[in-house]
Each structure stands twice: as structure tokens, then as C-alpha cells.
Amino acid sequence: MSWSFSIGHILGSDLRVHATFFLLLAWIGTATWLAEGPAAAFANLAFVLALFACVVAHEFGHALMARRYGIRTPDITLLPIGGMARLEKIPENPREEIAVALAGPAVNVVIWLVLVLGFGVPGNPAELASLEDPSQSFLERLAAVNLFLVVFNMIPAFPMDGGRVFRAVLAGSMGRARATRWAARAGQAIAFLFGYLGLVSGNPILILIAIFVFMAAMAESSDVEMQDLVKGVMARDAMITAYEALAPSNTLHAAEMALLSTTQSEFPVVDADGTLAGILTKSAIIAHHQGATQGATVADVMLTEVPSLELTGPLERALDALHLPDIATSARKPNSTLVKALARAFHWKPMQESGEFATITELAAREGIAPSYMMRVLRLTLIAPANVTAILEGKQKPEVTLARVLEPFSAIWTA
């Protein structure tokens, strides 16, 4: 998340703090200092930090439960309105989603029990109505606020924890996409209620929560509908086949010209043999242009860790990969084996006439290539001989031209 920075790496997740969190601390500290003096200001700030420590524990509850189902949590971010654990994906199994959603509030219940049973703090739920009572001790307030976090998070306002449980229960009878639509509508209705209560009570935090819930419900509903839409669709059905590629040795000036002359936001970076070396993004080009980096090449600033998918793989995997920050996703490109097969197939007739081999099957066996693969390549040479000649003579980059001419025969890319 932009405007956030890392303060450590805990249990496999990057713990981040959003810059606006410090505005909250400054607001609370200043307001309390002016009203009650420095001692009260420091006490309130200490309580807020303890509260957000409980929020961090809540989010790690989600993260650790998700890990049990093989789902990583790259980062957890603290915001003025609470915490946000960014899971790689939300479990689609309703039972797993319920377990992950309930794990966070369960941590707050454990903290409350420790304070009540271990430190003798009164555990009266009626204390929720008097969180700001100055007669309460630090630990009493902390126990009450953990109980409040449990109650508040279990409100069925999707995508809050209670809303996710609500969605998972609905998904058991009506399917995930439809359940998400109903849960999102309920969440947005509750968000309007939060906003109204925040306005009439003068509580800006509640207004911010209302805005977050409303926008997040709409965004996740759209995401789930997109996931449902692409079920059964292969990556090759949605991939771009006509694009501008760059070489690692190209200058950033050349990349800038490509950015201006095309509509692309990402540029594949390919080696001379057609191997994908990385991806150069629009943001990287602009950032290094503003920095006026002299002599920089594409290889200096490209992303090298790029998820790749088989062309016949499900498009859903591409959508999952695109949730990672600053990542573009590529389909696997032709390799040197394909170019070698292309050369052999293009000259198959003269080679056959000279007695070098008798059949395509024999040629394929000699080259260690499946006969069906060789036959498909042969069909390509018959359909686009000029393109093949340009590739073999080095006048065209194979990864660019093949992406265009192989579209009707994309199966050979994954043979």
C-alpha cells in the first residue's frame, strides 16, 4: 500500500504502518494535551499503542489461520481505522473462509480472557458502554476494548469479519458470486448506517470506517464476479499477442519512446534467444526519467520476478498473480527449441530430397521433439513463410513475430 513503510517482518509477513496513522497519534496527543495536560496525553497515547498492538495480534490471527490452508499473507498494514491483512487470496471453501474470518476475533477473546483471568480485570460486558470512563484502569479499558473489537468486527458488514462469515454461510446454498453480491449489498447498507452515526455523533473514525467498508465491499464484489466470469477460460483466450518488446541492453530513452508510441503500460524484456528476462513497467520508466539516471539500461530497472503461466492454464491464476504489487503476468514464450524446430521444419523439403531424413517423424525423433509438435510448426512455416524467413535471418525477433503468427496455433507454445 502506498504511503506506508515497513517496521519489521514477523511470522512471514511484512508489518507496515500507514503515514496517516501518525496523524491519528498527533491528533489524540494534541487534543488530550490541550484539554488535560501532558500526563493525560502520554497516558492516552500509550493506551492507543496498546490498542493497536491488539489490532496487530488480531490481524496475525487471520494470517496464521490462512497459512494453515496454504495462503500467504505478504503484509499487514496499520491504518487509523484499524489493521488490514493482505492475503494472497481469500479461501473459496466456505468452511475455510469462516475459520480465517473468526481467527482474528478469537485472538481478541484470548487477550480479554488473559486480562480477566490472569490479571483480575473485571470482565463485565456492560463496561463496553463506558470505555471513556476515567475511573477505569488501563487494563480495564484494554480488556473492554478487546471485547468491543470482537463485537464490532462480527457485525455482518462485508468485507469485515462478520460480513465474511455471512458471505461464507450464503455461499453454501447460493454459490460464491451470488453470495458475495448479497453480502456486499448488506455491507454497503451498514456502511451508510455507520456514516450516519458518525455524522450525528461527530465521530470522524466511524465515518472513515463507513467509507472504507462501502468501497471495499464494492471492490471485492467486482473482483469475485470477475473470478466467476473467467472460470473455464484459458490464459491464451485473454492474452495480448501483438505487443512491443524491449531488449535488456536497450536504453531507458528507447523505453520512453516505446511508451510514447504505444498504448502499453508494461513491456516484456526478452533476450536474443527469445527468453523472457523481465518486465519493464510504466511507473519504473517514469520514475527513472524523473531521476534523470544517466546511462541506465532496461536491465537496470526491469522486474525480474515475473509470474508465468501456461497458455492453456486457467485465467484465474493470472488474476491471482496480478494482485501482487508491481507485478505483470506473462504467458510462457517460445524458446530455442521452438526456433530450432522452426528452422528444421522450414527446410524440411530440401533436407528430405537430399536424403538427410525420410519422414517428419524421423526428423522429430532426431531433434528430440514430439512429432505432433513438429507437424504444427511445419503448418506455421507453410502459412507464414515470409515471417519465418525473417526470424531465421535475424531480421525479426522471434518472440514478437511468433506472438502474432502463432495465435491460431498457440498449442505449440505449450507442447
Q: How confident is the model at residue 337 (pLDDT cuts 50, 70, 90)?
A: very low
Q: Cβ distance 105 to 150 under 8 Å?
A: yes
For the chain, what is the mean pLDDT?
79
Q: What is the C-alpha separation between 39 and 264, in angstroms, rounded? A: 57
In tens, the pLDDT along 144-186 reads 899 999 999 999 999 899 999 999 999 988 888 899 999 999 9
pLDDT at 161: 94
* ∠ CA 389-329-313, rounded to 5°: 80
pLDDT at 407: 45
Considering 57-71, 120-134, 207-221, 382-396, the range whose residues carry the highest mean pLDDT is 57-71
Q: What is the dihedral of CA 331, 303, 282, 275, to 10 degrees?
A: -40
- Percent helix, strand, coil in the chain, to 5, is 60, 10, 25
Q: What is the C-alpha separation between 208 and 51, in angstroms, rounded? A: 18
For residue 78, what are the β-bridge partners? 17, 83
Range 163-176 burial, b when 16+ CB lie within 10 A, else e: bbbbbbebbeeeeb
pLDDT at 374: 55
Does the pLDDT at position 410 exceed 60?
Answer: no
Cell 496455433, residue located = 409
Domains of the chain are: 4-229 (no CATH), 233-332 (3.10.580.10), 334-415 (no CATH)
Cell 522450414, residue located = 346
pLDDT at 411: 39
For residue 76, what are the β-bridge partners? 15, 85
Comparing 323 with 229, the larger pLDDT belongs to 229
Q: What is the C-alpha separation between 104 and 162, in angstroms, rounded? A: 11
Burial bucket for residue 372 (CB in 10 Å: 0-12, 13-18, 19+): middle
Q: How many CA atoms lie within 13 A of 173 on its CB side?
A: 4
Report the first-to-last Cα separation within the chain, whole angstroms.
Answer: 39
Rounded to an integer, the average pLDDT of 317-343 is: 52
Q: Cβ distance 332 to 413 under 8 Å?
A: yes
* 74 prior amide bond cis, ω within 30: no
Q: How confident is the model at residue 379 (pLDDT cuts 50, 70, 90)?
A: low
Quick one: what percent of the chain has pLDDT higher than 90? Answer: 36
Does the pLDDT at position 311 exceed 90?
Answer: no
In tens, the pLDDT along 103-141 reads 999 999 999 999 999 998 887 766 665 556 667 788 988
Q: How confident is the model at residue 399 (pLDDT cuts 50, 70, 90)?
A: very low
- Rg over alpha carbons for the chain, rounded to the nearest Å, is 29
Q: What is the C-alpha separation between 216 and 232, in angstroms, rounded? A: 26
Q: What is the C-alpha separation between 21 and 84, in angstroms, rounded? A: 13
pLDDT at 365: 65
Residue type, 55: V
Does the pLDDT at position 312 exceed 90?
Answer: no
pLDDT at 316: 75
Strand ranges across the sheet with 75-79? 4-10, 13-18, 75-79, 82-86
Does the pLDDT at position 345 exceed 70?
Answer: no
Q: Cβ distance 78 to 17 under 8 Å?
A: yes
Which residues neighbour 62 within 8 Å (Cβ) at sequence distance 6 or greater?
73, 85, 87, 100, 101, 103, 104
Residue type, 304: T
Q: What is the C-alpha separation between 203 and 193, in angstroms, rounded? A: 13
pLDDT at 102: 96
Considering 34-48, 293-307, 350-364, 398-412, the range whose residues carry the highest mean pLDDT is 34-48
Q: Cβ distance 13 to 75 under 8 Å?
A: yes
- Integer CA distances (angstroms), 348 to 351, 384, 406, in order: 5, 15, 19
Does the pLDDT at position 304 exceed 60?
Answer: yes
Does the pLDDT at position 404 exceed 60?
Answer: no
In tens, the pLDDT along 2-49 reads 788 899 999 989 999 999 999 999 999 999 999 999 999 999 999 999
pLDDT at 377: 57
pLDDT at 63: 96
In tens, the pLDDT along 194-249 reads 999 999 998 888 898 899 899 988 888 887 887 777 777 777 666 766 778 899 98
pLDDT at 197: 93
Q: How confident is the model at residue 405 (pLDDT cuts 50, 70, 90)?
A: very low
pLDDT at 245: 86
pLDDT at 200: 94
pLDDT at 113: 94
**Helices 138-153 and 94-113 sit at what angle, rounded to 10 degrees?**
160
Q: How confident is the model at residue 259 (pLDDT cuts 50, 70, 90)?
A: confident
Does the pLDDT at position 187 exceed 60?
Answer: yes
Rounded to an integer, the average pLDDT of 334-343 is: 47
Residue type, 46: A
Among 278, 269, 275, residue whose Cα is nearest residue 304: 278
Strand 308-309 relative to strand 75-79: parallel, antiparallel, unpaired? Answer: unpaired
pLDDT at 327: 45
Q: Which three cell numbers stand for residue 55?
A: 489490532
Comparing 365 with 345, the larger pLDDT belongs to 365
